[in-house]
């Protein structure tokens, strides 16, 4: 890992624990326990995991954003009828797996995640996870939380938990611009009229786009996040389009919670793929996410959007 980066106490502790998962040659030690790093957005969890992953001397390692892995798991498990077969298909004979942004909010997903974790633990794969939540806060919905407690206990039994939750959100100090996700911008203004197009997903469904130009795509917020789209759709489209614009984004307190949750998922997918995103909104970023009740992971979205350039207010279109 880069020694030139000044790490806080939590990050140093986490790095030391990560290095314990490797032998003297940098190879993953096939051991019973892995590591679960948790803390608020922007505290360096992904940086630490990615540095660890890059330094692991193995050609049998895989790193996934949890949205991407889970989308693939759904498809393969449905086709094969077996979680074990799906795990074999996606992971093969890996000895190290890293999951970024692990979370559980839906009871249906929770049951599949429980089976997936059992399969991974049975294979004694070295597992490293980052999350905004400690294990006890996974699936926080009080109607279903008790049903996930056995899985939380298994996570605790197989993974050591380490808090990475320093006082500073490092994304707020990052220089705006550069390449990938951070090369986009966050603009404020009134959206103008544009043509409409359609883009196919999953081979059969279509989503209305505002414009398609080569590897660039533009969506109205209501057309993408106000309809029954899923994170798996965003994963599929992210493989086909490298530059994204999301227009006419309203203050999230003014729209249904499922619209805001889709925005969270979209930003997660584009951020992990490091794709350029331009947001054209009706209000400032701080106001966009203010006073929004019961939308998990919105703080992470705000932290990530803060990396975008924020020019003066303009008339959009």
Measured CA to CA, the distance from residue 182 to residue 47 in angstroms comes to 16
Query: Nearest 5°: CA angle at 130, between 19 and 160?
Result: 55
Q: Which of 61, 69, 56 is nearest to 22 (CA)?
A: 56
Buried b (16+ CB within 10 A) or exposed e, 58-79: beebbbbbbbbbbbbbbebbee
Name the token pair of 42.
Answer: 């922007």
Q: Which of 83, 147, 154 is nearest to 112 (CA)?
A: 83
Measured CA to CA, the distance from residue 261 to residue 294 in angstroms comes to 10
Measured CA to CA, the distance from residue 273 to residue 68 in angstroms comes to 10
Question: Where are the extended beta strands (E) located within the chain?
Answer: 34-38, 61-65, 96-100, 126-131, 159-163, 186-188, 197-201, 205-209, 211-213, 216-220, 243-249, 276-281
| 134 contacts 161 by C-beta, under 8 angstroms | yes
pLDDT, position 244: 97
Half-sphere exposure of 21 (CA within 13 A, CB side): 29
Q: Which residues contact 254 (CB under 8 A, 6 or more apart)?
A: none
| 312 contacts 190 by C-beta, under 8 angstroms | no
Q: What is the DSSP letter of 141?
A: -
Rounded to 5 degrees, what are φ and ψ at 20? -65, -15
Name the token pair of 9.
Answer: 């106490």
| 289 contacts 302 by C-beta, under 8 angstroms | yes
Query: Nearest 5°: CA angle at 43, between 37 and 48?
Result: 55
Statement: the pTM of the whole predicted model exceeds 0.85: no
* Mean per-residue pLDDT pooled into runs of 10, the chain (317 residues): 68 95 92 89 92 95 89 86 87 91 87 88 91 93 92 96 88 65 89 76 87 93 94 92 96 96 95 93 95 88 91 51
The position carrying tokens 């043509």 is 195
Rounded to 5 degrees, what are φ and ψ at 260? -65, -40
pLDDT, position 93: 87
Helix (H), strand (E) counts: the chain: 11, 12
pLDDT, position 259: 96
Name the token pair of 168.
Answer: 């500073």
pLDDT, position 168: 79
| 181 contacts 276 by C-beta, under 8 angstroms | yes
């Amino acid at each position: 890992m880069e020694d030139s980066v000044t790490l806080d106490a939590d990050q140093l502790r986490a790095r030391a624990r990560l290095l314990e998962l490797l032998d003297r040659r940098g190879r993953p030690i096939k051991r019973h326990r892995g590591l679960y790093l948790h803390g608020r957005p922007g505290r360096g969890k992904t940086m630490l995991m990615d540095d660890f992953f890059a330094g692991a001397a193995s050609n049998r390692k895989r790193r996934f954003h949890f949205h991407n892995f889970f989308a693939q798991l759904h498809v393969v498990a449905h086709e094969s009828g077996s979680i074990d077969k799906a795990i074999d298909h996606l992971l093969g004979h890996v000895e190290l797996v890293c999951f970024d942004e692990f979370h559980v909010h839906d009871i249906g997903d929770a049951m599949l995640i429980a089976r997936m974790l059992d399969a991974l633990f049975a294979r004694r794969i070295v597992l490293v996870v980052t999350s905004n939540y400690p294990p006890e806060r996974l699936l926080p919905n009080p109607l279903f939380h008790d049903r996930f407690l056995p899985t939380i206990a298994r996570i605790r039994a197989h993974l050591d938990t380490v808090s990475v939750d320093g006082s500073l959100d490092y994304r707020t100090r990052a220089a705006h611009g550069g390449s990938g996700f951070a090369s986009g911008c966050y603009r404020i203004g009134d959206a103008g009229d544009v043509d409409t197009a359609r883009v196919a997903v999953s081979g059969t469904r279509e989503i209305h786009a505002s414009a398609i130009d080569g590897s660039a795509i533009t969506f109205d917020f209501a057309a993408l996040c106000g309809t029954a789209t899923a994170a798996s759709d965003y994963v599929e489209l992210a493989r086909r389009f490298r530059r994204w614009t999301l227009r006419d984004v309203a203050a999230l307190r003014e729209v249904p919670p499922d619209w805001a949750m889709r925005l969270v998922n979209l930003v997660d997918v584009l951020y992990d793929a490091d794709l350029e995103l331009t947001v054209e909104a009706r209000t400032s970023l701080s106001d966009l996410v203010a006073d929004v009740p019961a939308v998990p992971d919105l703080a992470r979205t705000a932290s990530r959007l803060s990396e975008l350039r924020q020019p003066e207010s303009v008339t959009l279109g």
